[in-house]
Every structure is written in C-alpha cells, then in structure tokens.
Amino acid sequence: MKKESGFTLIELLLVLAIIGIISAIAIPALLGQRERAKAKSTQANVDAIAGECQRVSDTLKEGGSVLSAATIVTSVLALSNYTLPNAKNPYNGGQVAYATSGTVTGQVVVSGGTTVDVGGLSYQSVTVTGYYTVGGTAASLQKVVALD
C-alpha cells in the first residue's frame, strides 16, 4: 500500500490563521513608516542647509569678507548639492527640495534678512523653514542661523 503525504486541512487553516494574525499586527505598524521617513528627510534637509549657510558665512568671515544674508542664501542654493537632480523633495521627487519662497510639503524654504532678538539687537540671519506632514496634519520646522 502506498503512503500518501501532504498537509491536512487543519494544518493549512492553522498556517493561514497565523499569517492573518501576523499581518494584522504588522501592517498597521508599517503603514505610517513612509510618512515618518519623509518628515524625517525634510527635517534633515533643514539641518543640512542651516549648517551649510553657517559654514559659508564662517568661511567668508575667515577670508575677510562679510556678505549679506540674502547673498549667502543665493550662493548656498546655487551649490549642486541643493539643486535638482541632487536634492529632491521627499514628497514629490520631481520638485526641488530647497527654495526661497513657498509652503510646498517636503520643501525647505531658505530666506535671508534681519532678525531682532529679545534684547532689541538686530543682526543678519538666515531663516530655514521645512514643511512636512505628521499624521496627515501639516507641520513645519524653523531654524534661524545668526550671521554675526
């Protein structure tokens, strides 16, 4: 007599139930990961360009020249690291990641100007604002780089 091998119906149903339980736990946890990654990317872009503006300002000061905040913004945004195709908007890869105006989600807006602190002193500064979403709600992160 031949012995037949295979899985019983109970074994197959048990495996399907286990897969269903794992899916019910894992899928909701993974759904928000893409949005959180895009938000973190935008926040990292804010940090990167704020640091670059400070670096350019410090380099110019060491060389003996001091430029206005607007000129520093223009020179930093002209660098290849901050233009397409090297820097893409994390929410829409066809859009630029850095600009001088706007409120597009995933975009970092860089503007130069004058800031007045709480003591009433004014100084040249670069304002960097990143726009992103968290849980479907619009949010932003702003950094001010003092160019003293």
pLDDT tens, residue by residue, 53-91: 999 999 988 988 877 899 999 999 999 999 988 999 999
DSSP-based three-state secondary structure for 148: coil
Task: Please say whether the beta carbons of 123 and 117 come within 8 A.
Answer: yes
pLDDT of residue 147: 87
| Residue 2 covered by a domain | no
| Residue 5 covered by a domain | no
Q: In what order do the strands lie in the sheet with 122-134?
A: 98-99, 108-116, 122-134, 137-146
User: How confident is the model over 4-31, as pLDDT tens digits?
Assistant: 788 899 999 999 999 999 999 988 888 8
Number of domains the chain is built from? 1
HSE on the CB side for 112, CA within 13 Å? Answer: 17
| Residue 6 covered by a domain | no
Query: Residue 106: pLDDT above 80?
Result: yes
73: CB partners within 8 A, 6+ apart: 53, 100, 110, 111, 112, 126
Domain containing 26 equals 11-146
pLDDT of residue 60: 87
Q: pTM for this one?
A: 0.80
89: CB partners within 8 A, 6+ apart: 95, 96, 97, 104, 106, 107
| Residue 76 covered by a domain | yes
| Residue 1 covered by a domain | no
pLDDT of residue 103: 93
| Residue 28 covered by a domain | yes
pLDDT of residue 32: 83
pLDDT of residue 1: 62
pLDDT of residue 80: 92
